[in-house]
Amino acid sequence: MIIDTLENHQIYHPLHPRVAIALQHLATTDFSQVEPGSYPIEGKDIFAIVNDYETVSRETESFEVHRAYIDVQFVVSGDEEFGYLPLTHQSPSRPYETEHDYAEFDYHTNADNASFVQLKAGMFALFFPGDMHMPGTGETAKKVRKVVIKVKL
C-alpha cells in the first residue's frame, strides 16, 4: 500500500508503466466535472470508476482484496477513512471471484490487526494484491467523490 498526494504522483511512475498512466490520468483530468460511471483508459487493462457516495461505519463493511488489478483510489472531494492490513493467512468470508477480481474478509475477524487511515481530497492510495483494504468508511456519514482506477497487472 502507498498513500500520498497527487502532486507527488510522478515519484510512483517507475513502479509499473500502467500505474504511471493511471496516475498521469488522475493528474490531468478534472474529475469534479465527470459524471459517475466507468470509463476505459486502456480497455480492460486500465479503467476508471467515478463514484459519489456517503461514508459508512466500518462495522458494516468488509475488507476486500484483489489479485489481477492494482487499485488506485483518489479522493476528489470529501474525505474518508480506510482500513488496511496485509493479507497473510486470513480466511475469506466470500471466496475469490475471478470475474470480479474480488474476495471479501469479515471486519470483526480482522479488526484487531487493521490500521485505519484518513484519505482526504487530493490524496490517493495504491492497493496491491496482498493489501486487504476497506474503503469508504468514517465515524459520521460524509459525502465523497472518489475515482478508482483499476490497473491490470
Rounded distance, CA 73 to CA 136, Å?
10
What is the tens place of the pLDDT at every residue in 87-97? 999 999 999 99
What is the tens place of the pLDDT at every residue in 42-54? 999 999 999 999 9
CATH numeric code, 2-152: 2.60.120.370
Residue 58 CB burial class (10 angstroms; 0-12, 13-18, ≥19)? buried
What is the pTM assigned to this prediction? 0.95
Helices (H), 5-145: 17-28, 107-110
